[in-house]
Amino acid sequence: MITGASSGIGESTARELRRRGWLCVLVARREELLQALAADLDGEYEICDVSDRAAVESMAARVLERHHAIGLLVNNAGIPARGTFLSVHPELIERVMAVNYLGGVWCTRALLPGLEAARGEGGAHVVNLASVAGTVAFAPAGAYAASKHAQVAFSRSLRAALAGSGIRVHTVMPGFVETEAFPQRGVLESRLLRRFVIEPPRVATAIADAVDKDKAEVVVPWFPYRLLAVLQALFPGLISRFAGMSDYRSDRV
């Protein structure tokens, strides 16, 4: 089951997992795109806004009625929030937390019976698609970074809570990825950062490999983002200055 599956990383992940033999249940808000992708992949789809806890519970009940066991949940749904905490609209701060962080919490809780049922059928997996922004504070997207910090904390905590249960939790943290919702090459001001923008299929492969190889945390690509995360922990002031020097183009925010 993949949330945010109608485009970008979610769509690429669905295609990669189908190639590896998974039956995919696609979840997002745009029915026309989901319907076409589900037909192409011989899968299923559900319309749901993952920030709405009641809607998630209703969606999960429908899926579990059809499939008693869920072998893999990919919490991928996410939205951008460009701007500092001082400039971004308050409603967007609330929205990005509700989708990027709480959406994964609600989906995991609602689908837990299916994940538990899959333990005896080869094991179950939860992949939380976080971001390097979850380990490095990026001021030009403060609310987004905060939502991803929360998501990383949720993922690590969930992995510890489910240790030994047969449900494995994986955290995948890509850097800048070019998608419909995140047109990084067009909005990033820094030429240096634009050089490290990657495409969704690379992240999709990392997600599938994390499951197949039981990797707890994956950074995509490793360089330079894992290095930045280490430097953030060791020298937060240095990274703060670097983040302050980076920004989005004012004409594209």
Per the annotation, the verdict on 144 as an active-site residue is yes
The one catalytic residue in 45, 101, 144, 248 is: 144
In 3D, which of 99, 211, 90, 97 has the Cα closest to residue 149? 97
Number of C-beta neighbours around residue 103 at 10 A? 28
Kindly state the tokens that stand for 93: 């701060």
Q: So which residues are the catalytic ones?
A: 144
